[in-house]
Chains A and B, each alone.
Chain A
Amino acid sequence: MLHIKNLRVDIEDKIILNGLDLDIKAGEVHAIMGPNGVGKSTLAKVISAHPDYEVKSGEITYKNKNLLELDVAQRAMEGIFLAFQNPIEILGVNNMYFLKQAFNAKCKYTGIEEMTSLDFLKLVKAKIKSLGITADFLKRDLNAGFSGGEKKLNEMLQMSILEPKLFLLDEIDSGLDVDALKSVAQGVNSMLSKERSVLLITHHKHLLEYIKPDFVHILYDGKIIQSGDIHLAKEIEKNGYSIVKDLRSAS
């Protein structure tokens, strides 16, 4: 589904990613781990075309398309969804209205007929019920005054409505208590399928107890320096990222 080859990304002349390779097949769950500031979030933002990052060289293909030729909205339409670490607040924009506009944009792009407001409301109500969200959520302004947990749940709600193919989950565990984390993880797990893939960014193993990865990668020094399965995450939990530095000096 997603192939990244020898990717180099700069921000304001600083090299963030350099020589990064990653392959994600349909139905796979990949976790990217690494200490703070190594460019984990950068990777998620580059895949979704954030304007601050400049791809200097390398390739990203997604469903056999050259992703670098598509803009933010086009990539979103093609099924790439970034669940933000800090979802932004937008005053005056009603949450439900926003959902409908985003949903309509997707319908237009894929050539599906738009839903009536009533049918859409039914759909959303079913989704919020399964996510354990209260209905007043829909009446509020987009993320405005939401708690950390509510913001993440709102991301899950959007994801469940827009039904993307590739989930980029950027530290969705940050700032959540155990209950909120469980709800969010449950939201993600309920959407997993053979056609959908996940790129999970975290620096705690904790999240991986709730969303089970098929692969765990360690990002350091701009590239993936080690890949494995859940055992790799466990090792990091035990020994910290110091092992990464050892690996690096050994290489």
Chain B
Amino acid sequence: MGANKNIIDVLENEYSLGFTTNIESDTIEKGLNKNVIKFISAKKDEPSWMLDKRNKSFDIWQKMQEPHWSSIVHPKIDYQNISYFSAPKQKLDSMDDVEPELLKTYEKLGIPLEEQKMLAGVAVDAVFDSVSIKTTFEKQLGDLGIIFCSISDAIKNHRKLVEKYLFSVVPMSDNYFAALNAAVFTDGTFVYIPKGVRCPMELSTYFRINAIGTGQFERTLIIADEGSYVSYNEGCSAPSRDENQLHAAVVELIALKDAQINYSTIQNWYPGDENGKGGIYNFVTKRGICKGDNSKISWTQVETGSAITWKYPSCILAGDNSVGEFYSVAITTKAQQADTGSKMIHIGKNTKSTIISKGISALKGLNAYRGLVKVGSKAKNARNFTQCDSLIIGPNARAHTFPYINVHNSSANIEHEATTSKISDEQLFYLMQRGLSEEDAVSMIVNGFCKEVLGKLPMEFAVEARALLNVTLEGSVG
């Protein structure tokens, strides 16, 4: 059908954030060994205890094997052919020192860092390659006792908190990529919300990979003390390059008694081209622990980018009455592969979890949902509801669902619903017969499909996510 060809043309559209910033960088030579780790630690001006942890992680990593249990297929990654540190050359002491070229980069991405243009109600930490460039509203938040800074600064200035919680949710030996990250992480964001404080604005980190041949390994740690609340968002993008670039991040969330953390991600790393050339390999470990009673952690993610996405944001529901949520939209088009889902580990009594996963595959995209619901023997009255829906667009797209349920307490109540559907010609015909273009019709169906998840995002980010969905999937029936 002629119409379908148009759709494919639109689908194969250009990645709009694929520009490169010309800026002088300090990039170390490719390769990974203890000298490189020492170099990173020295660059960050870290205390020796941190270097010791890095070295320990490196030893662990060296004994581990790259995991291959997921549905994802990729060529062997040469870990010695990656540069593990890259930073803009210039030293940054204040905003005036930030190179105009860098500010322009963030402006192009829609994230103004200059004081007069800052987004109202959103504090931003911008991470460019390996370093945090600028954290906005740091002082205003500081007045409430909130710490919002780069993880490098936190290691130097908030040792007690960092030592207590870093690696406490995702230990260095957790998995291959988490161990690698623990050895070489270069920057990331640190957030601490003190007892009883409701963070008055959205906190946000924007990650940008720019330098060629580098990997990005950031580490984020968020601690919500008793009775506090925080909503945190992250966004990501990278230039279009023919080579694959590795991104292996770790995020740890800790919610103490009565605390709540909402964590939203809009992931738009460069996806590579339709033949699978280029794009980011995104191997991410995200986990939160509801440590205290009545605490809550909610993950919301919109995954549109990356050649490969391998991530399972999870909740350990340790406190009684604690709640874990996972809302996800993952789109794979061109030759993208995503293996994503969640793990909900019920330990405390009356714990509750919800998983809503919406996978959309178009062109040659592969989308797999992989999820685990585990109920421990002491988790009396645990409840889980899981719904995973797949939408397939075109004859070559694929979707898989791998739910694992592991229950050790007979009082548990577990519900699992799954659907797989296609955008039908009849649906498109109906909408187009009312005058909508094919692109608008597809976008309307896809947005409807994702509605439950998009509704969970903070307002500003929901708008961005919708726009992104439309660009990524504009018309896509094969």
A→B interface (CB under 8 Å): 48, 50-52, 71-73, 76-77, 81-82, 84, 87-88, 90-93, 98, 101-102, 105-106, 109, 141-142, 158, 162
Q: How many residues does chain B have at the interface if contact means C-beta atoms less than 8 Å apart?
A: 25
The interface residues of chain B lying within 8 Å CB-to-CB of A84 are: 430
Q: How distant is B427 from chain A, measured CB to nearest CB, in Å?
A: 5
Residue interface mask B79-107, A partner, CB < 8 A = 1: 00000000000000000000000000000
Structural contact, A77 and B435, CB atoms closer than 8 A: yes
Of the residues A76, A87, A142, contact of B435 by C-beta under 8 Å: A76
Q: How distant is A177 from chain B, measured CB to nearest CB, in Å?
A: 24
Structural contact, B3 and A51, CB atoms closer than 8 A: yes
B118 at the binding interface (Cβ < 8 Å): no
The interface residues of chain B lying within 8 Å CB-to-CB of A91 are: 448-449
The interface residues of chain A lying within 8 Å CB-to-CB of B450 are: 92
Q: A92-B450, A101-B436 are in contact. List 9 more A-B contacts (CB 8 A).
A: A73-B432, A90-B431, A91-B448, A93-B444, A93-B448, A98-B434, A101-B444, A102-B434, A142-B448
Given A92-B450, A93-B445, decide whether A87 and B430 contact each other with a Cβ distance below 8 A: yes
Structural contact, B433 and A72, CB atoms closer than 8 A: yes
Q: Which 10 A-B pairs have the closest CB atoms?
A: A92-B448, A93-B448, A92-B451, A72-B432, A102-B434, A76-B435, A105-B435, A88-B430, A73-B432, A77-B435
B→A interface (CB under 8 Å): 1, 3, 424-427, 429-438, 440, 444-445, 447-452
Q: Closest residue to B455 on the A side, CB-wise?
A: A92
Structural contact, B3 and A71, CB atoms closer than 8 A: yes
Number of A-B contacts (CB under 8 A): 70
C-alpha gap A90/B445 in the complex (Å): 7
The interface residues of chain B lying within 8 Å CB-to-CB of A109 are: 435
Of the residues B424, B429, B445, contact of A72 by C-beta under 8 Å: B429
Q: List 23 A-B contacts (CB under 8 A).
A: A51-B1, A52-B425, A71-B3, A71-B432, A72-B429, A72-B432, A73-B435, A73-B436, A76-B432, A76-B434, A77-B435, A81-B433, A90-B430, A92-B447, A92-B451, A93-B447, A101-B436, A101-B444, A105-B437, A105-B440, A141-B448, A142-B448, A162-B434
Given A91-B449, A93-B444, decide whether A48 and B433 contact each other with a Cβ distance below 8 A: yes
Q: Closest residue to A71 on the B side, CB-wise?
A: B3
